[in-house]
A and B are shown apart, each in its own frame.
Chain A
Amino acid sequence: MTEEMHVDYCIAGGGIAGILLASKLAASGKKIVILEHGRRFTEEDRTGMLRRGVEALNDYADYNDDVDESATTPHTSATADEQVIEWSNQRLFGVGGTALHFEGIMARPVEDDLQVRTLYGYGRDWPLTYAELEPWLLAAEREIGVAGSADNPYASPRSDSFPMPAHEFSYFDREIMGPAMRALGIVGHSCPRAIASVPYRGRSQCLACRACKFCPSGARYSPDRVHVPMLEERPNVSILDNVSLRRLETAARGDRIIAAHAMRTEDGEPLVITADCFVLAMGGVETPRMLMLSADGGAYRDGLGNVGGQLGRGFNDHLNPYVTFDVGRPVGSRLGFETMISDHFRATGDRRETPSFIMFTAPAMDWFPIGIEATSWSIQDEILSLADLRQSIPRFATLAAMTEVEGRGVLELDDDVTDSFGSPVAKVTMRLSDWDRRAPAKLGELAPQLAEAMGAANVSGVSAELYPGYHPSGATAMARSPDGGVCDPHLKVFGLDNLYLVSNSVFPHMGANPPTLTIAALALRLAAHLEGKSAL
Chain B
Amino acid sequence: MNGSDLDRREFLRVMMALSAGLAVGCGTDERRSSEESQLSPDEESLRKLVLALGPWTESESEKAENFADRFVTYAGGFYLPDSAGAIRSLAGRLPPGAMALAEIDLGDMSVEEREVLTQLTQMLYSFIEVRFYIAKEPPWGRCLGERTRYIQAPA
Q: Which residues of A contact B (CB under 8 A)?
A: 50, 52, 54-61, 65-66, 168-171, 174-175, 205-211, 214, 216-217, 322, 330-335, 339, 364, 366-376, 379, 382-387, 389-390, 393-394, 459-465, 467
Q: Digit string of B1-40 for contact with A (CB within 8 Å is 1, else 0)?
A: 1101111110110011011101110010100000000000
The answer on a CB contact under 8 Å between A462 and B104 is no
The answer on a CB contact under 8 Å between A205 and B147 is yes
Which 4 pairs, one residue from A and one from B, show the smallest C-beta to C-beta distance?
A: A371-B126, A65-B23, A371-B125, A382-B107
Which of B1, B2, B16, B74 has the most chain A CB within a 10 Å cutoff?
Answer: B1
Which of B19, B103, B127 has a CB less than 8 Å from the CB of A384? B103
Which of A332, A372, A385 has a CB less than 8 Å from the CB of B152? A332
Given contacts A56-B22, A56-B70, A393-B131, contact A369 B2 (CB under 8 A): no
The answer on a CB contact under 8 Å between A332 and B153 is yes
User: How distant is the Cα of A24 from the Cα of B71 in the complex, in angstroms?
Assistant: 48
Distance between B31 CB and nearest chain A CB, rounded to angstroms: 8
User: How distant is the Cα of A60 from the Cα of B106 in the complex, in angstroms?
Assistant: 31
The answer on a CB contact under 8 Å between B124 and A371 is yes
List the A side residues contacting B148 at CB < 8 Å: 168
The answer on a CB contact under 8 Å between B125 and A389 is yes
List the B side residues contacting A460 at CB < 8 Å: 1, 4-5, 8
User: How distant is the Cα of A397 from the Cα of B106 in the complex, in angstroms?
Assistant: 27
The answer on a CB contact under 8 Å between B153 and A171 is yes
Q: Told that A330-B154, A463-B9 touch, could you supply 17 new A-B pairs with CB distance under 8 A?
A: A50-B141, A54-B141, A60-B20, A205-B147, A207-B143, A209-B143, A209-B144, A333-B150, A371-B121, A371-B122, A373-B8, A375-B125, A382-B105, A384-B117, A390-B55, A462-B5, A464-B2
Q: Counting CB contacts under 8 A, is B75 at the interface?
A: yes
Distance between A71 CB and nearest chain B CB, rounded to angstroms: 12
Distance between B47 CB and nearest chain A CB, rounded to angstroms: 14
Q: Digit string of B116-149 for contact with A (CB within 8 Å is 1, else 0)?
A: 0110011111111101001101011111110111
Residue of B nearest to A370 (CB): B126
Q: Counting CB contacts under 8 A, is B53 at the interface?
A: yes
Q: Counting CB contacts under 8 A, is B101 at the interface?
A: yes
Residue of A nearest to B147 (CB): A208
Which of A217, A372, A394 has a CB less than 8 Å from the CB of B143? A217
The answer on a CB contact under 8 Å between A393 and B4 is no
List the A side residues contacting B142 at CB < 8 Å: 209, 216
User: How distant is the Cα of A373 from the Cα of B24 in the complex, in angstroms?
Assistant: 30
Distance between B41 CB and nearest chain A CB, rounded to angstroms: 23
The answer on a CB contact under 8 Å between A168 and B151 is yes
The answer on a CB contact under 8 Å between A383 and B137 is no
Which of A58, A217, A374, A467 has the most chain B CB within a 10 Å cutoff?
Answer: A58
User: How distant is the Cα of A369 from the Cα of B103 in the complex, in angstroms?
Assistant: 21
Given contacts A208-B150, A372-B8, contact A384 B137 (CB under 8 A): no
Given contacts A54-B141, A59-B128, A383-B103, contact A171 B134 (CB under 8 A): no
The answer on a CB contact under 8 Å between B4 and A376 is yes
User: How distant is the Cα of A54 from the Cα of B131 in the complex, in angstroms?
Assistant: 13
Residue of A nearest to B2 (CB): A461
The answer on a CB contact under 8 Å between B152 and A171 is yes
User: How distant is the Cα of A385 from the Cα of B102 in the complex, in angstroms?
Assistant: 6
User: How distant is the Cα of A57 from the Cα of B154 in the complex, in angstroms?
Assistant: 26
Which of B12, B73, B137, B150 has a CB less than 8 Å from the CB of A369? B12
User: How distant is the Cα of A207 from the Cα of B146 in the complex, in angstroms?
Assistant: 8
Residue of A nearest to B126 (CB): A371
Which of B22, B75, B106, B140 has a CB less than 8 Å from the CB of A210? B140
User: How distant is the Cα of A333 from the Cα of B145 in the complex, in angstroms?
Assistant: 15
The answer on a CB contact under 8 Å between B5 and A384 is no
List the A side residues contacting B102 at CB < 8 Å: 385-387
The answer on a CB contact under 8 Å between A464 and B140 is no
Residue of B nearest to A389 (CB): B125
The answer on a CB contact under 8 Å between A171 and B151 is yes
The answer on a CB contact under 8 Å between B106 and A372 is no
The answer on a CB contact under 8 Å between A467 and B9 is yes
Q: Counting CB contacts under 8 A, is B94 at the interface?
A: no
The answer on a CB contact under 8 Å between B5 and A463 is yes
List the B side residues contacting A332 at CB < 8 Å: 150-154
Distance between A430 CB and nearest chain B CB, rounded to angstroms: 15
User: How distant is the Cα of A381 from the Cα of B128 in the complex, in angstroms?
Assistant: 29
Q: Counting CB contacts under 8 A, is B100 at the interface?
A: yes
User: How distant is the Cα of A174 from the Cα of B153 in the complex, in angstroms?
Assistant: 10
The answer on a CB contact under 8 Å between B129 and A57 is yes
The answer on a CB contact under 8 Å between A464 and B5 is yes
Distance between A61 CB and nearest chain B CB, rounded to angstroms: 7
List the A side residues contacting B19 at CB < 8 Å: 58-61, 65
User: How distant is the Cα of A491 from the Cα of B123 in the complex, in angstroms?
Assistant: 47
Distance between B148 CB and nearest chain A CB, rounded to angstroms: 7
12 contacts between A and B (CB under 8 A): A57-B70, A66-B23, A168-B148, A171-B150, A171-B153, A332-B151, A332-B153, A335-B150, A371-B125, A384-B104, A386-B121, A390-B134
